[in-house]
Amino acid sequence: FGVLEKSFVIRLYPHIKVALSLYERSRRQRIENRAYARAIDQLAFGVIILNERGHVVSVNETATALLESSGLLDVSGGRLQATGAENRERIDPILKAALLGRAPREPLKLTGKHPDQPLYILLKPIHNVEGAHAGTMGVALFLSSGKLERSVAIDACASLYGLSRAEVALLTEMVDGASTLSASQNLGISEHTARAQLRSIFLKTGTHRQADLFRLVLTSLAIIA
Nearest one of 174, 178, 176, 182 to 205, comparing CA atoms: 174
CB 63 within 8 Å of CB 140: no
The whole-number pLDDT of residue 153 equals 65
The whole-number pLDDT of residue 135 equals 74
Residue 200 — pLDDT band, cuts 50, 70, 90? very high
Residue 214 — pLDDT band, cuts 50, 70, 90? confident
Residue 222 confidence (pLDDT) above 60: no
CB 49 within 8 Å of CB 140: yes
Q: What is the pTM of this model?
A: 0.59
pLDDT (tens digit per residue) in 119-161: 888 888 888 766 555 678 899 998 888 655 566 567 777 888 8
The whole-number pLDDT of residue 152 equals 58
CA distances to 5, 20, 24 from 12, rounded to whole Å, are 10, 12, 19
